[in-house]
Chains A and B, each alone.
Chain A
Amino acid sequence: MGTLTRAVGQAHARLDGPDKVRGAARYSVEYPVENVAYAWPVPSTVVKGRITRVDTRAALAEPGVLAVLSYENAPRLTPAGDPELFVLQEPAVAYRGQIVALAVAGSLEAAREAAGLVRLEYDTWPHDTVLTENHPGLYQPSHVNPSLPTDTEIGNFDAGYAAAPVRVDATYRTPAEHNNPMEPHASTVQWQGDRLVVHDANQGPGQVQAGLATLFGLPPERVRVITEHVGGGFGCKTMRCCVVLAALAARHVDRPVRLALTRQQMFGVVGYRTPTIQRIRLGADPTGRLTASCHDAISQSSMLKEFAEQTAVYGRPLYAAPHRRTTHRLARLDVPSPAWMRAPGQCPGSFAVESAMDELAVTCGVDPVELRIRNEPATDPEEGTPYSSRNLVACLREGAHRFGWADRDRTPAVRRAGRCLLGTGVAGSIYPARSLVSSASAYAGPDGAFLVQINAVDIGTGARTALWQIAADELGVPPDRVMIRVGDTGLPEASLAGGSTGTASWGWAVAKVCREIRVQIDDVHGGSVPAGGVHAQVDTTADIQAQQTFSRYAFGAQFAEVRVDVDTGEVRVDRLLGVFAAGRIVNALTARSQLIGGMTMGMSMALLEEGLWDPRSGDWANHDLATYHVAGCADIEQIEAYWLDEDDPHLNPAGVKGIGEIGIVGTAAAITNAVYHATGVRVRDLPVRLDRLLGHRA
């Protein structure tokens, strides 16, 4: 076995790649189902109101239309925690775009036509949809996502800040942003007697199974959710109303039903990143050593539910300062419910904190890389716990070296190439490294083949391939002898794809079950697999409970080089470079894709993405990709992602920290810091707008 090349660390192309590029991979609405009907949602056209009349006559008169569901006739549901899933049950309307009816027909076209013919009348009330820093409804939620303290205070911030010789006090704003995965939310649902069989695009088949079971009053084992391929999620494919609507329709018309949201409907109902207003105050000595830091974050949620984005948690474990405070305030507005979007909280939080650090570096006349190094804590400054590993400084140094940072002149607005001003910027980056409980099974056949099964889900990240590599190494066999199955609630239960926990959590269960198989083969069966094969199933509850207390985080350093046209204010990013310390990198190819994907999304956030809200109509003014701009390949000249060899023994058997989100953390600040360096204009309000860079001239 000594000659076997380890699979972990190799740049394996993803296992599902060939099927995807050939169009052979089936997505959730592509499974052939006989006698399938199609559903088309009807969104509310009022913001805050109550349906007083549902007139379905014209819709039902359309040929091919089977039914129109609304709160009046839809099958009854049992609430399942998330009010966004309790659809078509009540006449109340909480926001514009909320689904209030559903047309079902034998063809997609007839369903869509019928949806347009449903007439609804409403009583309406004045609405309140705009977040401001002095909104009268701001309150302190009991905790912030996922279950973190709302406010924290160590030392005495007010006194520390008052005494600080150098101070930065600035307010940063980020707009609403929309996840926009390529594939919309999509479901094919079949009732087979009292069993529910669902093909659904989501980030957690187990979560969808549990949700549907509660909503429809079924034992979970009678709900099967199959999620073989998913065209991206970025957080918005945790369980959403789409699959519930399809299941309601299928029950009502007693036929299988397909439902895929349109891009425009997604803007209304699948969640978005809340806008934030963030005030940062930093107190420091003249050399830039922080003595006090405070992060006050404001965000919004809907009237339906409290979603308290964890914006100010970003800095809690990051930079040293004896006096520190973080607070979160929330306003409940007549708006769609915000939800998870890649690096929730951390991503907008990093924009504010890493911008303020740059402002402090400017104020103190200290190099911004050096400033961050000077504020390196020995232990977690809020928890007091040791880090399982902390390589922020190493990332900054390695990045500075690769980027060519050393000779940087700090003076803003002095580098000129033709009609452009040039600038460079840096930001730190941190993201929690968590592992969640999962289980997995494995089977060794007498023919030397292995089958590993886990209800993990590959939302396009390459998770399936990474798990397969981990399994091969633990089994000590070449990967081509291993088969892996994921994305089916018939397989051993596993955590959902979120919070960059997938490979850490699932990889733990996979590694454990493969070791168990190895032990059985080697120790019980004397090294060969018996005729009946060997089977094992494990879960990681005890392992995760037994974890020692550490602060576990991935770290990174982001560098950006920008070019700003002095006359038009156009910003172009010539170069992005990120260095990350994220434990072991399982697959060099898919990891790089995750990291540069995150960085590109961060650039998109810096320069383009903005959900524009129209307070009069109470709706997004832009809700398609022609008006909500997302960066494309042509927008980045050169993008590089590197990682340090990090061997952290306190994580999980695979030694991984997760890489799905850290790439987007800090990127926007690196870019706006570079814009400052180029132009002398500090952008505190995203996205960067051409006209604002020109100041008085436009």
Chain B
Amino acid sequence: MEFLQPSTWDDAMAAKAAQPEAVPIAGGTDVMVELNFDRRRPPALLDLTRVAELTQWGTDGPLLRVGAGVTSRRLIAELGGRLPGLAMASRTVGSPQIRNRGTVGGNLGSASPAGDAHPPLLASDALVELASVRGVRRVPVAEFFTGPKRSVLAPDELVAAFLVAPAGGPQQFAKVGTRNAMVIAVCSFALALHPAQRRVGTGIGSAAPTPRRATAAEDFLAAALPWDTRGRLPDSTAREFGALVAAAAAPIDDVRGTAAYRRHALSVLAGRTLRWAWEALCD
């Protein structure tokens, strides 16, 4: 197996173009598991850890641009104030060791339906920036995932960054699991309120072939929330929102939980995160 170690972003893209079957490796917390279990045997690994550009974040107009090589730990420590939903999700990832190594680019690269970064990125309308020697494109994260562990990433492309507006309102993330750390989500849910636009963003994890939004629930809630009065949230609104979120999921029975349980739990998480977020907005 070849081990490619570009030190610049241009070299990395060139290497990927020259050898599209090379598997990028960032923190390695997914890649090494696959290699160890002999699930895949790539002819080459493309080590991205020497590419300084990937580990940086900054602004791009009104948006934050966060490099694919930023780790979960740094998302929490450096961006927790501006991206609270993503930071909450990142806090639930694995263990300190995994959070120190695992990157957001790797989470996107794996495109697992259970990836914890995905629901908050969906809820906040993030764009994924993909780059190759052919050029750069920005894909709404809702269009990024195409199936379980599949995405629109072309063979010669790399994830460069994601772009997202700093939170303009309360954000929440909740996850159900059987233990307190090192646990894959049975299901998860992210919510973002955008009071300026009177919009709502959602993201569902681990309850469909891909992470997905609950658009009908978003539309319902945007119309139903008492944005002007900031009055009490009617229970019926929270319940209806929960039901619509559950309806948007397409869960399966598996080792971690039944489909019926996942739908039920999602409706609970949706109602719960909504109450927390609405309270925060009205405080």
Binding site for B on A (CB under 8 A): 116, 264, 419, 567-570, 572, 607-608, 612, 621-622, 624, 626-627, 629, 631-632, 634-635, 690-691, 694, 697-698
Say whether A632 contacts B257, CB under 8 Å. Answer: no
CB–CB A698/B38 < 8 A: no
| Residues of A with C-beta under 8 A to B265 | 567-569, 690, 698
A203–B178 alpha-carbon span in the complex (Å): 32
Tell me which residues across on chain A come within 8 A of B179, comparing CB atoms.
607-608, 629, 631-632, 634-635
C-alpha gap A635/B263 in the complex (Å): 25
Chain B interface size, as a band, is: 20 to 34
20 residue pairs A–B, Cβ–Cβ below 8 Å: A116-B38, A567-B265, A569-B261, A569-B265, A570-B178, A572-B180, A607-B178, A608-B179, A624-B37, A629-B183, A632-B179, A632-B182, A634-B180, A634-B181, A690-B261, A691-B258, A694-B264, A698-B260, A698-B263, A698-B264
Q: How far is the CA of A419 from the CA of B271 in the complex (A)?
A: 13
| Chain A residues positioned under 8 Å from B264 (CB to CB) | 694, 697-698
Also in contact, A690 and B186, with CB within 8 A (given A612-B255, A627-B255, A635-B180) = yes
| Shortest Cβ distance from residue A561 to the other chain B in the assembled complex, whole angstroms | 16
Chain A binding surface SS class: loop
Query: What 1/0 mask marks residues of chain B from 169 to 180 whose CB sits below 8 Å from any chain A CB?
Result: 000000011111
B263 CB contacts on chain A under 8 angstroms: 698
**A691 and B260 in contact (CB under 8 A), knowing A567-B272, A698-B265?**
yes
* Interchain CA distance A414-B227 in the complex, whole Å: 37
A-B contact count (CB 8 A): 61
Residues of A within 8 A of B258 (CB): 691, 698
Check if B268 is an interface residue, CB within 8 A of chain A.
yes
Contacts of A629 in B (CB 8 A): 178-179, 183
CB A331 to nearest CB in B, in angstroms, measures 25
Closest A residue to B179 using CB positions:
A635
| Residue from the set B37, B182, B184, B186 with the largest chain A CB neighbour count within 10 Å | B182
In addition to A626-B184, A694-B264, A697-B264, 12 A-B residue pairs with Cβ atoms within 8 Å of each other are A419-B272, A612-B255, A624-B37, A629-B183, A635-B179, A635-B181, A690-B186, A691-B257, A691-B260, A694-B261, A698-B258, A698-B260
Rounded to whole Å, the gap between the CB of B192 and the closest CB of chain A is 22
Closest to B186 in A: A690
Query: Within B250-266, which residues are at the interface with A (CB < 8 Å)?
Result: 255, 257-258, 260-261, 263-265
Q: Do A568 and B183 contact each other (CB < 8 Å), given the known contacts A621-B255, A690-B176, A691-B258?
A: no
Q: In the complex, which residue of chain B has the Cβ closest to the Cβ of A625?
A: B182
Interface 0/1 of B233-260, CB less than 8 Å to A: 0000000000000000000000101101
B77 → A minimal CB distance (Å): 20
Taking CB atoms, residues of chain B closer than 8 Å to A568 are 176, 265, 268-269
Task: Determine how close the nearest CB of chain A comes to the CB of B181; give it in whole angstroms.
Answer: 4
> Given contacts A568-B268, A621-B255, is CB(A608)–CB(B260) below 8 Å?
no
| Nearest 8 Cβ contacts at the A-B interface | A691-B261, A698-B264, A567-B268, A634-B180, A634-B181, A698-B261, A635-B179, A568-B265
- Chain A contacts of B181 at CB under 8 A? 632, 634-635
B57-115: which residues lie under 8 A (CB-CB) from chain A? none
Which of B33, B179, B186, B260 neighbours the largest number of chain A CB atoms within 10 Å of its CB?
Answer: B179
Contact with A690, one of B33, B38, B257, B272 (Cβ below 8 angstroms): B257
Counting chain B CB atoms within 10 Å of each CB, the highest count among A116, A264, A631, A690 belongs to: A690
> How far in angstroms is the closest Cβ of chain B from A418?
11
The complex places the Cα of A634 from the Cα of B178 at a distance, in Å, of 12
Q: Give the docked Cα–Cα distance between A264 and B260 (Å).
A: 31
Q: Which residues of A contact B255 (CB under 8 A)?
A: 612, 621-622, 627
A698: chain B residues at CB < 8 Å are 258, 260-261, 263-265
Please provide the chain B residues from 261 to 281 with a CB less than 8 Å away from any CB of chain A in the complex. Answer: 261, 263-265, 268-269, 272
- Which residues of chain B are near A607, meaning CB under 8 Å? 178-179
Interface hub of A570, A572, A608, A691 (most chain B Cβ within 10 A): A691
CB contacts (< 8 Å) of A572 on chain B: these are 180
| Alpha-carbon gap, A568 to B258, bound state (A) | 13
Q: Which residues of A contact B272 (CB under 8 A)?
A: 419, 567
Residues of B contacting A694 with CB < 8 Å? 261, 264
- Cβ–Cβ < 8 Å partners of A627 in chain B: 255
Across-interface contacts of B186 in A (CB, < 8 A): 690
Residue numbers in B under 8 Å from A264 (CB-CB): 37
How many angstroms from the CA of A382 to the CA of B70 in the assembled complex? 66
Which residues of chain A are near B33, meaning CB under 8 Å?
626
